[in-house]
Structure 1
Amino acid sequence: MTVTDISHPAPASPTLLDGPALWPAQAHTPTVLGRQLVVERGAGSWLYTTDGRRLFDGTAGLWHANVGHGRPELAQAAYDQMRQLETFHIFARYANDKALEIGEVLAEISPIDRAKLILNSGGSDAIDVACKLARRHWQREGRGSKKIILSREFAYHGLHAFGTSIAGLEFNREGYGSESLVPETARISLNDPAQVEALITELGPENIAALVTEAVQGTGGVNPPAPGYLEAISRLCKEHDILLILDEVITGFGRMGTMFAAEYYGLEPDMITFAKGVTSGYAPLGGVMVAPRLWEPFYQDSPNTPIFRHGATYAGHATACAVALKHMEILESERLVPRVGELAGVLGSALDNLASQNPLVAQVRYAGLLGGVTLSDQLSAEQVCDDLVELGFIGRPLRGNTIQISPPFITTDSELLDFVAAISQAITERGAK
């Protein structure tokens, strides 16, 4: 057996070294360079590449293209706002009208009563702010030992410092010289409340600031919660005075057939992080919905009132907020959230049929308009997704040898059924090779 010295890797081939200047994200570069599909146009649920392919967007981009691609009214909203004011910051005495307006709209639909909104540029930003606010809250309360942030096995919460530190996907945590970029983090069981309670006891609730969880895990493999799990950890958080942060970057704004997964599962979180679906990806916007117990101490009319040091250049970006406002109108006028409920039924039935008819499918999972197809060990989800491209469909391989399904809300029943049929065909043909 030949042992490769990883400290002195073999030089890359000239072809790879002379490739595009753009460094591909989340990629093993030698296996994607030269194979990249360059998307140049989108319309509805379909994408068009520079080499002439027409592909069904079965993943809504990275879970975000909920109202579909190429919506002229969203482009017009951005154009009109940029002509008036591209943006102005929201620091100290200053604000811009669109940031104030979207704040009111989001507070009105938030599952958190009397929520305040912290705006930023995306989900990773939102997680960083939420985890910082959790720690800041307990420091201000004089309970400085409460620092640990809990998160679930297989969790994904972006790739900023806090998101990397609380990742339940170990490959996103490795290689940075420490077990956790930000100290005091720990992982809890994917679906076992008894294990969660045992870990809380072991660590000491007096040392735990918050528990962060996706309602339905996305990148971790499309993992809906086991029945009663979210309710159980919510109860544990209340019993032990641990803040509950619900990551709704994927599930927020309709993906479950309700506006938020908090409503779907009957949860009362202290914070909700959001991004993607607030604009359907037409502009980078994210943020945190914050409960009164956290924001009220920073609003007291006193010279001794503390400051929470959040904010970035593009927080409350006026153009992004204008796009979000128009996007909210589209969700309502086209009744897309109830439409998701209809599509969810179509998806669930189709996946159950797939699992019963194709022996190469190990398991299917679904919740709302989110689905995962886990393949038997003899197949590779990555290879099957490559085969799907040749059939005219985009899927995405996830942890656990799973194929992601999360199409736009405007998808037709027949398009969704065709997508599942293509997955079955790709699996069968790959299995026969």
Structure 2
Amino acid sequence: MQHPATSQQDLSLDEFWMPFTANRQFKAKPRLLESAEGMFYTDVEGRQVLDATAGLWCCNAGHGRKEISEAVARQIAKLDFAPTFQMGHPLPFQLAERLVEIAPKGLNRVFFTNSGSESVDTALKIALAYQRARGEGTRTRLIGRELGYHGVGFGGISVGGMVNNRKAFGVQLPGVDHLPHTLDLERNAFTRGLPKQGAELADQLEKLVALHGAENIAAVIVEPMSGSAGVILPPQGYLKRLREITAKHGILLIFDEVITGYGRIGEPFAAQRWEVTPDIITTAKGLTNGAIPMGAVFVSEQIQDAFMHGPQGLIELFHGYTYSGHPVAAAAALATLDIYQRDGLLTRARELEVYWQEALHSLQGLAHVIDIRNTGLVGAVHLASREGAPGARGYEVFEACYWDGVMVRVTGDIIAMSPPLIVEKPHIDRIVEVLGNVIRRTA
């Protein structure tokens, strides 16, 4: 029997083609994590690394939660797999009921997926099929937003607005347009919380409606907060204006809450924090605390009911995944919800928001820091790009932080942070101390 590697010297790095990674750069100086507990990872050499990113925006309850691992162990021993095509098992029904309890009012139907990418493609397909089901089949156009990230399916990269995620592939969905992004460094740099300037950018949707005709537009999809692009926040009033325009024209509004869902900004969903209820919400990541891949798409009963016509034996939506509502994933999600609710984690980000905000903004004035953005327990430090080398400064800061014992995220020259919701004030102090020292060294 071959035993797992215990250090990076024992490990071949050639065979695994890593996702969203500069493979040659990484493999020249790998960062390999072996275990995790609470707020910390431990790497293969035994070094502790403070997790300032909740893994990949997903481990909201921190690491090593025995309630989740024990629920998974019990379930995989009892029922490892059961189909949900023309069959069923109790757990996804129980989970859907629990999720509806914390969802925005009216979003009371849940379709299960396995990732954020699948949730987005599911939402887009539901939106298109819904418009057709209600007799408006000309509504085939989808509208995303510049700098938006909606996963890596062909639907997601088409409505997404991060060019590197699609330019190598050539093919995209036809009939897609984009709203302008809301990042405005000139007017909003160093804003604490949501920026005051920019709500009028939502009115660009009216121009797209005039251009294409409302009768041809099925849905608008936006992240309430654009996480992967570097924590780009909605201006005050922006999301409400989008809701007003979409409702007026019969266009579905989809919130991609794969990052903001499950407590990241101080409510179960951003829709609740910012008091805007869309027609569809996509989620994943924090649903199972990152333990088992799973996603969930929330829709209104009205949307589902539009499909419930014709013979009872007719499949209403020809869509789904082998692992939709997987029993082990559902067990992990149920255990995760128990933790979130018992420990108050779905709203804890609000309790620490001001402390987090002031700690991050203490970095204002350091060389090359051109903006700091924050909401809930998420934040970004935006660095000026080096001439002729965009992204180089950001990567250098990201890598140095890791070797100094703090794991942050980097996108271009933006350092993004989203610590587990169990974070304490001393952890915040340490994150900001290390990041500040590294920025000073790399200026």
**TM over 0.5, shorter chain:** yes
Displacement of 1:73: 1.3
Question: What residue in structure 1 maps to residue 259 of structure 2?
Answer: 250
Secondary structure at the aligned position of 2:306 is classed as: helix
State whether structure 2 residue 411 is matched by structure 1 residue 409. Answer: no
Unaligned runs of 5+ in 2: 1-11, 183-200, 387-391
Name which of structure 1's ranges 192-201 and 359-368 shifts more when overlaid on structure 2. 192-201
Contact 1:216–1:367 (Cα < 8 Å) also in 2: no
Displacement of 1:303: 4.6
1:185 to 176, 179, 185: 176
- For 1:331 and 1:276, the matched residues in 2 are separated by 14
Question: What residue in structure 1 maps to residue 185 of structure 2?
Answer: none
Question: What residue in structure 1 maps to residue 299 of structure 2?
Answer: 290
Secondary structure at the aligned position of 1:33 is classed as: helix
2:373 to 365, 373, 376: 365
- Give the length in aligned residue pairs: 409
Displacement of 1:91: 1.4
- For 2:246 and 2:300, the matched residues in 1 are separated by 15
State whether structure 2 residue 81 is matched by structure 1 residue 68. Answer: no
Contact 1:298–1:305 (Cα < 8 Å) also in 2: no
- For 2:130 and 2:309, the matched residues in 1 are separated by 14
1:381 to 366, 373, 394: 394
1:25-64 correspondence runs (5 A)? 25-64=19-58
1:319-334 correspondence runs (5 A)? 319-334=328-343
State whether structure 2 residue 88 is matched by structure 1 residue 95. Answer: yes
Q: Root-mean-square deviation (CA), in Å?
A: 1.6
Question: What residue in structure 1 maps to residue 217 of structure 2?
Answer: 208
State whether structure 2 residue 146 is matched by structure 1 residue 153. Answer: yes
- For 2:257 and 2:23, the matched residues in 1 are separated by 30
Offset from partner CA, 1:189-233 (integer Å, 9 cap, x none): 113123222122112211110000111100111011011111111
Displacement of 1:66: 0.7
Displacement of 1:306: 6.3
Contact 1:249–1:274 (Cα < 8 Å) also in 2: yes
Question: What residue in structure 1 maps to residue 405 of structure 2?
Answer: 392
Question: What residue in structure 1 maps to residue 104 of structure 2?
Answer: 111
Displacement of 1:421: 1.5
- For 1:261 and 1:19, the matched residues in 2 are separated by 39
2:433 to 417, 421, 433: 421
- For 2:180 and 2:396, the matched residues in 1 are separated by 30
Question: What residue in structure 2 maps to residue 11 of structure 1?
Answer: none
Displacement of 1:29: 2.1
Contact 1:352–1:364 (Cα < 8 Å) also in 2: yes
- For 1:197 and 1:237, the matched residues in 2 are separated by 9
C-alpha change, 1:428 and 1:253, in structure 2 (3 Å) is same
State whether structure 2 residue 247 is matched by structure 1 residue 238. Answer: yes
Contact 1:245–1:269 (Cα < 8 Å) also in 2: yes
Secondary structure at the aligned position of 1:416 is classed as: helix
Question: What residue in structure 2 maps to residue 4 of structure 1?
Answer: none
C-alpha change, 1:418 and 1:339, in structure 2 (3 Å) is same
C-alpha change, 1:73 and 1:316, in structure 2 (3 Å) is same
C-alpha change, 1:338 and 1:177, in structure 2 (3 Å) is closer
TM-score by length of 2: 0.89
Displacement of 1:402: 0.6
Contact 1:298–1:306 (Cα < 8 Å) also in 2: no
Question: What residue in structure 2 maps to residue 9 of structure 1?
Answer: none
C-alpha change, 1:40 and 1:304, in structure 2 (3 Å) is closer
Letter in 1 for 2:404: L
State whether structure 2 residue 79 is matched by structure 1 residue 85. Answer: yes
